Structure 1
Amino acid sequence: MVIEVASVGICGTDLHILDGEFAPTPYPIIPGHEFAGTVVAIGSQVTEVAEGERVAVDPSLFCAECHYCALGRENLCERWSAIGVTTSGACAEYALAPVANCQRIPEQMSLEHAALIEPLSCAVHGFDLLPCRMGEHYLVYGAGTMGLMMAQLARRAGAASVSVVDLNPDRLDVAAALGADAVARDADELDRPQGWEVVVDCTGAVPAIEDGLRRVRRGGTFEVFGVAAAEASASFSPFRVYNDEITIVGSMAVLHSFERAVALMSAGAVDAATMLSHSFALEDYAEAIEAFRQGLGRKLQINPARP
């Protein structure tokens, strides 16, 4: 199908792609994998979606034939691909997407908010991999888009408390406004010497990962959610992982979570209006990328229809 792109978010993965740190990406490529828009053309066999309907797009492309696809773990597909990552994406006026990847959005949802569904679906998958026991204490590293989403979902999942660490004081203010119980530039500033049952790194930064692993309470879980460079390595104590029965889990992209993310966005599980801070015209993409690198605002979007 052909989608007229209304909004496309800039993501940390885009920087890895642009900087040549994401091995599967061929060049040249049109980036943009967090997007929503209007269907303007469909194939002759398409009956599920009609022209004129508004959709959010799951960028994931799986082979449906390999070992991992057969196990239902398509995000680990041996031929994994994604719109805007390995094929042309949505930083353009129009984008192509299979009908199976397109989810209708509710009438009351704006297309700008709908472009947040893809990162929300990644956060939902991240929660699928956590124990999600009621009354546990969460520590989130990073108050960018993903950290703010994970913090809000933790609240909805029944966390007793949610703390957020980030070096950017402006982002910490947003985390507090969105319901974080405590925010700090360093976890040492937080009053929880016994540690947290769940610690989630949303930065991909090795110092944050190493620090976060030290903060996990005995029997707790550490989730590597942020995207680190492929060659990055982190140090940790294998003895402590063994002796304290620490669970370390990775969360990669989207898996059976996109439709649920549409429902959660529609239900107001995350404050989409607060999450969005800047909008750029398509011709200002380079400016938007530079603003993202500098940590400006919260979620930055490209709006191709913007004059």
Structure 2
Amino acid sequence: MKAAQLYGIDDIRVEDIAMPEILDPHQVRLKVDAVGICGSDLHNFRTGQWMSKLPMVPGHEMTATVIELGSDVQTLAIGDKVVADSRVWCGECPACQQQRYNHCQALAFVGEAFAGGMSEQVVLHEHQLLKVPSDLDADIRVLSEPLGVSLRVIKQLQATTGELVYVAGGGTIGGFAALMLQDIFKHPVQLSEPNQTRFDKLSALMNLSQQPQPFHFAIDATGIPSVINQLIAQIEPGGRIALVGLPHHNNSIDILSVVEKEITLVGCSVFDGEQHEAIAYLAPLKDKLKSLISEPLSLDDIPQTYAKLCQGGVDYLKAVIHPNQH
């Protein structure tokens, strides 16, 4: 079976690997229809920070078709279209006991704790799979997870109805959050994105505020400390900033201004039930989402695509791999 494997920092290879031949009772074998490259995949490629072992097949944003069921699987049938809930929780810590799985003390992810979706097939546990409408294209179904993360950010932000929201970063999460803020939640949006083509693509889909305006609510989807400090400097006193960007290096944040202006900084970690909720938004947003993703890419394209994404050399918001496309 063909797959991409991460061997270490800046080292990802496409090769043939073996698949488990026998399923555990609650496991499901899947043919991977599409898998997205996430910012956390790139973070692991650059730092190796969250990998439990190497080499490892990455890829947690995936949609697939059920092709084999373990003996005790009750909720799925052969041929079902599914997406992965990629969270891997311990089930024992206080957060898990309260079913706050995204706060699990040992939280890990598919593609880090065990093999992910950058392969022709993958085996996952039944409880990690959510059914999705079969009439949606694979490259729309695969967006349920980043859309769920974006929805989590919006919920954490708690913006007052109708208030302007400033979004820093027009990549996947920032762009999807901006789209949902305007189309679903009816907020005016101001967006900053240095990649002009990306900005233009988003501007074509939304009525973005063109002139700088005062703002009380903001989202940072960059993870860049200097951008966060700029938001802290510009936001109105008493404002609220949702942080979802992943920094590759930690530098100082202007805590003095946070204190003096009574700014609330709120972290946004993956999602709780938002991925399941986001599935309902895929169909109404599908035409706009389609315009923000890459042309279909194959497994062989992964090393080159990782390099381009790390260099910021792409104009789309989401790279989508079709592992069974040859």
> How does the TM-score come out when normalised to structure 2?
0.86
CA distance in 2, matches of 1:90, 1:24: 15
What residue in structure 2 maps to residue 88 of structure 1?
Answer: 115
Of 273-282 and 115-124, deviating more is: 273-282
Question: Residues 153 and 269 of structure 1 are in contact (CA less than 8 Å); yes or no, is this contact kept in structure 2?
Answer: no
> How does the TM-score come out when normalised to structure 1?
0.91
> Letter of the aligned partner of 2:282 in structure 1?
M
What residue in structure 1 maps to residue 263 of structure 2?
Answer: 246
CA distance in 1, matches of 2:120, 2:293: 21
2:211 matches 1:213: no
Q: 1:179-211: CA deviations, max 9, x gaps?
A: 04135xxxxxx422xx31111111112221221
Note the aligned Cα RMSD (angstroms).
Answer: 1.7
Question: Residues 68 and 77 of structure 1 are in contact (CA less than 8 Å); yes or no, is this contact kept in structure 2?
Answer: yes
2:212 matches 1:191: yes
Gaps of 5+ in 1: 184-189
What residue in structure 2 maps to residue 200 of structure 1?
Answer: 219
CA distance in 2, matches of 1:133, 1:226: 22
Q: How does 1:281-292 map to 2 (within 5 A)?
A: 281-292=298-309
CA drift at 1:268: 2.3
Q: How does 1:223-242 map to 2 (within 5 A)?
A: 223-229=242-248, 231-238=249-256, 240-242=257-259
2:201 matches 1:174: yes
CA distance in 2, matches of 1:224, 1:269: 26
Q: How does 1:1-307 map to 2 (within 5 A)?
A: 1-155=28-182, 156-159=184-187, 161-182=188-209, 190-192=211-213, 195-229=214-248, 231-238=249-256, 240-268=257-285, 271-295=288-312, 296-298=314-316, 299-307=318-326
What residue in structure 2 maps to residue 186 of structure 1?
Answer: none
CA distance in 2, matches of 1:127, 1:103: 22
User: % of aligned pairs identical?
Assistant: 26
CA distance in 1, matches of 2:243, 2:93: 25
CA drift at 1:270: 7.8
Of 287-296 and 255-264, deviating more is: 287-296
Of 38-47 and 173-182, deviating more is: 173-182
CA distance in 1, matches of 2:226, 2:114: 32
Which secondary structure does the structure 1 equivalent of 2:296 belong to?
Answer: strand
CA distance in 2, matches of 1:17, 1:180: 35
Q: Does the C-alpha gap of structure 1 residues 128 and 293 become closer, same or farther in structure 2, counting only changes over 3 Å?
A: same
* Residue correspondences, number: 296
CA distance in 2, matches of 1:21, 1:73: 26
Question: Residues 209 and 234 of structure 1 are in contact (CA less than 8 Å); yes or no, is this contact kept in structure 2?
Answer: no
CA distance in 2, matches of 1:81, 1:237: 30
Q: 1:81-118: CA deviations, max 9, x gaps?
A: 21112221100001122212211111321111111111
CA distance in 1, matches of 2:218, 2:162: 14
CA distance in 2, matches of 1:214, 1:157: 26
